[in-house]
A and B are shown apart, each in its own frame.
Chain A
Amino acid sequence: GDSVTQMEGPVTLSEEAFLTINCTYTATGYPSLFWYVQYPGEGLQLLLKATKADDKGSNKGFEATYRKETTSFHLEKGSVQVSDSAVYFCALSWEYGNKLVFGAGTILRVKS
């Protein structure tokens, strides 16, 4: 079945460091891909999405590009802030409004 694999955390960075969180997927075909963020004590929020190959999603300084050749959707940010500390989930979905398949999540800790 479909699955999403994320790099294990926690990832600990100093403020203003460059962030990469790796995400790869296994699926037949080309699903839509998402990054969700969960701040402490809260539910998940959509961070960005890409609905077809080579699309780049971006939001709040975060970016991810849908790479069908490597079945990847890595999350990047050029300069992280303490406020970016959260759990980040990569996910896929097959159609509008349909159920999401999540990766295990990656904890990000940013130190000042």
Chain B
Amino acid sequence: DADVTQTPRNRITKTGKRIMLECSQTKGHDRMYWYRQDPGLGLRLIYYSFDVKDINKGEISDGYSVSRQAQAKFSLSLESAIPNQTALYFCATSETGTYGYTFGSGTRLTVV
């Protein structure tokens, strides 16, 4: 099994629908992140969490919310999806005191 697992891998949803992207990890890392990748823009940080009780907004948090259900689980929600949220979403983990980041394989979300 992958160290960082994202579900679903692909999703097509309609404008206005609520959708949740899930991320789970077996690395035992304390820090988790959600990034969004758009062509020509690189990866931009949506939300991050340094432990279960710590949630922080990134540079593009509007329209998104997150939940850290456990150290190993970090979910991203789009409360009312819109077409410009069509993108590739990555979950990542890291451990305090190290430089190692582990990325999931990504969720490709299309909002129609």
Please tell me if the beta carbons of A97 and B105 are within 8 angstroms of each other in the complex. no
> Which one, A46, A51, A93, A103, contacts B42 given CB within 8 A?
A103
Pick 20 A–B contacts, CB within 8 A, sort by A. A34-B99, A41-B105, A43-B92, A43-B106, A44-B92, A46-B99, A51-B99, A93-B99, A96-B97, A97-B30, A97-B94, A97-B100, A98-B31, A99-B58, A100-B43, A100-B45, A100-B101, A104-B40, A105-B40, A105-B42
CB distance from A10 to the nearest CB of B (A): 11
A43-B4, A43-B90, A97-B31 known; A89 vs B96 contact (CB < 8 Å): no
> Which one, B42, B95, B97, B99, contacts A32 given CB within 8 A?
B99
Please tell me if the beta carbons of B104 and A43 are within 8 angstroms of each other in the complex. yes
Q: What is the size category of the interface that chain A forms with chain B?
A: 20 to 34
How many angstroms from the CA of A69 to the CA of B58 in the assembled complex?
29
Please tell me if the beta carbons of A97 and B48 are within 8 angstroms of each other in the complex. no
Please tell me the number of chain B residues within 8 Å of chain A, measured between CB atoms. Answer: 27
Interface residues of B (CB under 8 A from A): 4, 30-31, 33, 35, 40-45, 48, 58, 90, 92, 94-101, 103-106
A97-B94, A99-B45 known; A49 vs B40 contact (CB < 8 Å): no
